[in-house]
Structure 1
């Protein structure tokens, strides 16, 4: 069988993979702090016997879009938005330290400060626990101040400080858990220069219009690959009939 069928089939498969990634980005267009994943098609030679006359188009990941999302004011004292470069340290589901820009924090029933997914926020000595308080404020440097229950507003106690880091985007990789991890598996050092704004969150950096255009383009590419498969099959059938006649 001519290798054009195999190449078209491989191309269609790769387009479907790229489409799934684009769909994932679109589904998270309204997810706080989400960073769009990037990929591109690259030409790869077909391995095997014969002359190197054919190539495959392979969709390969290129990392993630580091551009910041829009700052949206919420008025919620537990919401924070990182200003400029930097990340909020959280504890990933596997127990390792990871990083996120999603600052829509909350306090669970046990007093543990978590992100929206339930990952504990890391402080100076590990996950942060908040005592029962009548009010809570998070300062620009991540310092958490509370007014304990039964105390006057003038009685302010500092409980902990959210760990803010800025290791450099080239040191981070996108994990399957939706969080950023250090490429070498280490923990980033706290950076006192990272600042946050209280009462605001950072939106997703996905542009829905651009993503929809990508989806349409990929759909057309998939149709082209399917037509190539049909054309190769029709050519093979015609060639077979000619051989039978001969």
Structure 2
């Protein structure tokens, strides 16, 4: 019965972890540019003396669904959505580059272009805008402004748009993506943005609800297996003791 308890226990742990992942996905169904996570698990034998007869479900780091979501028109010129593959670049709280699909940009009083309080990076570093009457962001990420007094358009910067290999990206607890070993990605001329649009989350709420319900049933099943194993062990002990 001992082997059943090992397997059921690890299965229950996996179900709980999976529930957390699906709950987080559902909580971010309306988060701009959010990329859904999915659980990953592998079977692993318990090493020790004798035959390896015990197998546990071992959790791996969550995977990410990198598929693009729909672009929704907002009409706001500081909103940018990426068409197809690619990422916007920001600076995180540790001064490292991080990558995101969210594009609801903001201009601070200082002129700094930010995304949720993080500096937005351009080809030459952080983007700081001069005073302007109007602003436009081109499909290549170039930022042009109309001076306060009018006149010719002035290009004041360009968004750093990147498209690193997705297998090299890891997702942080802040929802941002980073390259391994704090590496930085190069500007990619093929990344295209759409001004006045934001990308939806790629979470499918129906699928997440179904998966969550399945994990709830799976957890209940694993607990029942542990209880049944315990009951059989008690019955066996009673038979041996003759009581």
Write the deviation string for residues 89-138 of structure 1: whole angstroms up to 9, x where unpaired.
Answer: 111121111111111111123322111x2211101221111222221111
Aligned to 1:180: 177
Helix, strand or coil at the partner of 1:56: strand
Q: Find the aligned partners of 1:68 and 1:96 in 2 and give their Cα distance.
A: 25
Matched, 1:125 2:113: no
Q: Find the aligned partners of 2:123 and 2:217 in 1 and give their Cα distance.
A: 52
- Give the superposition deviation at 1:43: 1.7
Which of 177, 201, 205 is 1:204 aligned to?
Answer: 201
Q: Find the aligned partners of 1:25 and 1:49 in 2 and give their Cα distance.
A: 42
Q: TM-score, normalised by structure 1?
A: 0.92
Q: Find the aligned partners of 1:62 and 1:177 in 2 and give their Cα distance.
A: 14
Aligned to 1:222: 219
Counterparts of residues 1-246 of structure 1 (less than 5 Å): 2-61=2-61, 63-115=63-115, 117-149=116-148, 151-152=149-150, 154-245=151-242
- Give the superposition deviation at 1:40: 2.9
Helix, strand or coil at the partner of 2:119: coil
Q: Find the aligned partners of 1:9 and 1:229 in 2 and give their Cα distance.
A: 7
RMSD of Structure 2 on Structure 1 (CA): 1.7
CA contact (8 A) 2:76 2:196 kept: yes
Helix, strand or coil at the partner of 1:133: coil
Write the deviation string for residues 46-104 of structure 1: whole angstroms up to 9, x where unpaired.
Answer: 22334323322233235211100111000000001111111111111211111111111
Q: Find the aligned partners of 1:124 and 1:216 in 2 and give their Cα distance.
A: 46
Q: Structure 2: which 5+ residue stretches go unaligned?
A: none
- More divergent stretch after superposition (227-236 vs 103-112): 103-112
Q: Find the aligned partners of 1:141 and 1:208 in 2 and give their Cα distance.
A: 32
Write the deviation string for residues 21-64 of structure 1: whole angstroms up to 9, x where unpaired.
Answer: 11111111111111111223322212233432332223323521
Q: Structure 1: which 5+ residue stretches go unaligned?
A: none
